[in-house]
């Protein structure tokens, strides 16, 4: 099976979205959990951005083993020198360097000619190769670049020694069909691309980061970049857990092998949420509180008869102990009987019908029914409810 590499940028692109800086101890705690999760690459930070970030990258590089530790740079020798120094103690160091390649980035932000951009890109990769054997090049805003120019840039950096090519949708502008077509075009037209890892880094400005990443994988990319819980600049990055579980759940379609331990997904999500202070929405796919909760009576009846009627992922696969039934006025008799059974109550049909009618009257007055309410309905608490 084709190998899919998992590149986590929670500590770099994810942190940029917080409005504050994680300290070294917090970054190390997340990095340790990412090792348990089984990612291939941890992008630990942008060392040249601040002394504190350099210190964090240095600490992660010194302690973390078993994965590649990566630092981001601009296509500047001074950035690369700083990154190389911070990564010195890493078991598997990677320098991630790059430059904007779209007309708007070159003209408005960089104020450089296309020829200057090509020269800087190749020079940056060559400089990084003086320090490490693992160099990734990012073609910033690749999706909005001119194709012929993008091919030229990528061929130059591959020749200069880049062994990973990152093709970002930096501003989340692509649709899945367009992004798949771009990756396919590059796979067919860039000389030497068969000798490197092709990486996808998609943002979520139009809500399509996960879909675009999966489209890129179908087109031949074999590294996915994303962040836990989808945190990142503006509307966020590809949600790493969503991409991983899509590939895992639909493996007959993708035919990819990963080394991720999916049972660590929930724990990783909760840790990142706690440390960053960014809550996970209840409706969030894979890791939200409602991801394995069933509220509709029709759904509850089905899932109690056979979980596969409404669950395409077993909750324990992502580290969640079990699914849950949310009792409300939408719940039916089957769900009520199940929840009462879990509390130790066994009712015949007539008893169940009587309690169900009382349950409905209570449920019309309350948003959700809890175990304490069920015990009261059964008369256990001495509180009469009717």
Q: Are residues 262 and 363 in the same domain?
A: no
pLDDT at residue 383, rounded to an integer: 44
Q: Are residues 106 and 243 in the same domain?
A: yes
Using pLDDT thresholds of 50, 70 and 90, give the confidence band for residue 272: very high
Enclosing domain of residue 366: 293-377
Is there a domain that residue 386 lies in?
Answer: no
pLDDT at residue 380, rounded to an integer: 61
Q: How far apart are CA 306 and CA 199, in angstroms?
A: 39
Q: What is the mean pLDDT of residues 135-143?
A: 98
pLDDT at residue 322, rounded to an integer: 81
Q: Are residues 318 and 245 in the same domain?
A: no
pLDDT at residue 170, rounded to an integer: 98
Measure Cα distances from 111 to 104, 140, 222 in Å: 9, 15, 33
pLDDT at residue 323, rounded to an integer: 85
Measure Cα distances from 52 to 49, 56, 86, 380 in Å: 9, 6, 11, 58
Q: Are residues 272 and 348 in the same domain?
A: no
Which residues, at least 6 apart from 163, have a Cβ–Cβ distance to it below 8 Å?
Answer: 133, 134, 135, 136, 195, 196, 197
Q: What is the mean pLDDT of residues 53-76?
A: 98
Q: Are residues 177 and 262 in the same domain?
A: yes
**Comparing C-alpha atoms, which of 55, 76, 10 is closest to residue 37?**
10
Q: Are residues 310 and 163 in the same domain?
A: no
Using pLDDT thresholds of 50, 70 and 90, give the confidence band for residue 326: confident
pLDDT at residue 16, rounded to an integer: 87
The secondary structure of 302-348 as a DSSP string is: HHHH-GGGT-SS-GGGGT----EE-BSTT--HHHHHHHHHHTT----
Q: What is the mean pLDDT of residues 32-50?
A: 97
Q: Which of 227, 245, 276 represents a domain boundary (last residue)? A: 276
Q: What is the pLDDT of residues 197-237, one digit of tens each?
A: 999 999 999 999 999 999 999 999 999 999 999 999 999 99
pLDDT at residue 384, rounded to an integer: 42
Q: Are residues 49 and 101 in the same domain?
A: yes
pTM of the complete model? 0.90
Q: What is the pLDDT of residues 273-291, one digit of tens each?
A: 999 999 999 999 999 988 9
Q: What is the pLDDT of residues 298-316, one digit of tens each?
A: 898 888 898 889 889 999 9
Using pLDDT thresholds of 50, 70 and 90, give the confidence band for residue 382: very low
Asked which of 130-139, 212-221, 360-369 is least confident by mean pLDDT, the reply is 360-369
Q: Are residues 122 and 74 in the same domain?
A: yes
Q: Are residues 336 and 370 in the same domain?
A: yes
How many structural domains is the chain composed of?
2
The secondary structure of 160-224 as a DSSP string is: HT-SEEEEEETTS---HHHHHHHHHHHHHHSTTGGGSEEEEEEB-TTS-HHHHHHHHHHTT--EE
Q: How far apart are CA 341 and CA 166, in angstroms?
A: 53
Is there a domain that residue 287 lies in?
Answer: no
Using pLDDT thresholds of 50, 70 and 90, give the confidence band for residue 295: confident
């Amino acid at each position: 099976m084709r190998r899919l590499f998992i590149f986590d940028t929670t500590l770099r692109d994810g942190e940029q979205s917080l409005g504050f800086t994680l300290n070294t101890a917090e970054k190390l705690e997340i990095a340790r959990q990412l090792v348990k999760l089984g990612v291939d690459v941890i992008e630990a930070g942008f060392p040249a951005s601040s002394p504190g970030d350099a210190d964090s990258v240095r600490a992660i590089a010194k302690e973390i083993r078993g994965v590649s530790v990566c630092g981001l740079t601009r296509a500047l020798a001074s950035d690369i020198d700083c990154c190389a120094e911070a990564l010195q103690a890493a078991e598997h160091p990677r320098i991630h360097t790059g430059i904007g390649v779209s007309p708007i980035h070159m003209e408005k932000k960089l104020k450089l000619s296309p020829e200057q951009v090509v020269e800087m890109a190749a020079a940056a990769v060559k400089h990084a190769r003086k320090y490490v054997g693992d160099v990734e090049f990012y073609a910033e805003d690749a999706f909005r670049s001119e194709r012929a120019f993008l091919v030229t840039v990528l061929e130059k950096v591959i020749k200069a020694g880049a062994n990973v090519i990152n093709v970002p949708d930096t501003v989340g502008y692509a649709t899945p069909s367009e992004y798949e077509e771009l990756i396919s075009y590059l796979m067919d037209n860039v000389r030497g691309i068969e000798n490197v890892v092709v990486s996808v880094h998609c943002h979520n400005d139009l809500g399509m980061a996960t879909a675009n990443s999966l489209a890129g994988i179908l087109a031949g990319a074999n590294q996915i970049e994303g962040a836990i819980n989808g945190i990142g600049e503006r509307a966020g990055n590809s949600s790493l857990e969503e991409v991983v579980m899509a590939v895992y759940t639909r493996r007959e379609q993708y035919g990819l092998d990963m080394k991720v331990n999916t049972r660590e997904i929930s724990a990783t999500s909760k840790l990142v949420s706690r440390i960053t202070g960014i809550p996970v929405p209840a409706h969030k796919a894979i890791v939200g509180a409602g991801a394995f909760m069933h509220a509709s009576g029709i759904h509850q009846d089905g899932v109690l008869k056979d979980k596969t009627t409404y669950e395409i992922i077993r909750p324990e696969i992502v580290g969640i102990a079990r699914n849950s039934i949310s009792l409300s006025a939408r719940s039916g008799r089957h769900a009520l009987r199940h929840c009462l059974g879990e509390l130790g109550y066994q009712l015949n049909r007539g008893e169940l019908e009587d309690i169900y009618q009382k349950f409905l009257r209570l449920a019309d007055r309350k948003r959700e029914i809890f175990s304490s309410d069920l015990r009261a309905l059964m008369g256990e608490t001495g509180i009469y409810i009717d």
